[in-house]
Structure 1
Amino acid sequence: MTGSAEAFIHPLARVEDGATVGVGTKVWALAHVRAGARIGTGCVIGSGVTVDTDVVVGDRCKVQNAALLYRGTRLGTGVFVGPAAVFTNDVLPRAITPGGEPLTDADWDVSPIVVEDGASIGANATVIAGVRIGAWAMVGAGAVVTHDVPAHAIVAGVPARMAGWVCACGARVQATGDVTCSKCGTRFSLR
């Protein structure tokens, strides 16, 4: 592992050589951070989380217990990932070729997932390969996200569908276009 001695790594966590963990980050028991993963500063990686190779976790993210972040996942700053959320990476997964030969890592066609700053992913949600989730968007618990999610959108269900809009502070917003949040006064545009 490369990074700061100021990161806390639980003795029962596995952080492979070649992984980077930032200052002030906590990696809890039974988490597995693979070589080539990069975790920013001030993050919390919960128990049983998998952070695969070529995953980037931005600063101040919170990844709850048993979440699975597979190769190609990119989390911006301040992203919340609920317990048991899954980020897939292969649109057409297979274990073997049509001839019966095992597939290798080189055979995978990884489609990255991007989660922009401040977004929240609910418990047990599944995000399908190739999706982009906009800044401050909110994905409901148990949702299956198959398409891009706009910034500030609330999505829920299987498959995930628009359920409204949300401010960065978490308050629901009832308008579209240029809006001012009634809770915190923040002004932003919904398109």
Structure 2
Amino acid sequence: MRALSRHRAGRRRRTLRARHRGRPDPRAPARPGATRPTIIAAGDESDWGASVQRGYRAWCARYGVPAVARTVAFDASADELRAAARALLAAAPEVDAIVCATAGAAAEILPVLREAGRTVGADLLLASCVDTPAMRSADPPITAMDLRPREAGATCADLLFELLRGDTPTGTERVHPVELLIRASSAQISSIRSATESTMRDGR
């Protein structure tokens, strides 16, 4: 996490931004056969949504993969998420991996994927950028990132108080660890767990 100092209308403002340095190797999804990954993400009204979309599009550009994304509201309803999934499959029926950036979205679109005749964990991989109870109880259970939100909130609060007291200089960074939880929805990529964890430890 980094404390930033900005100037607006003659006043100094400090903000906090989360930075995730432990990144899985971006080539990893392609190795076991996912060649057309797509994403359903919130719009750029949030830093989170914008960052996820930038990362996806950068990966696609790097490996020459067409970027196919659908944007939804940060608090999209189940109907809106399923409509986005239907539109995505209609636009690119050859997709073989879907990453959902908004919390709960991956579980909500499972019925749409089944209606389309897709088998999650076999001919289509599914993952969520946010782990929730719905990811763990889904059929099949869905691969997700454990963002450790309680710990993140506590670290943000501690850093904010330190800034307010003047104990921490502007530009201070705190690394918040996250974990990729591989489950049956991406069974094809379970073989890359060790490579992914090694890459994350190296901070690449």
- Higher RCO structure, 1 or 2 (CA under 8 Å, sep 6+): 2
Q: Which of the five TM-score ranges fits, normalised by the shorter chain?
A: under 0.3
Structure number having the greater helix percentage: 2
Higher Rg of the two aligned structures: 2
For normalisation by structure 1, the TM-score amounts to 0.27
For normalisation by structure 2, the TM-score amounts to 0.26
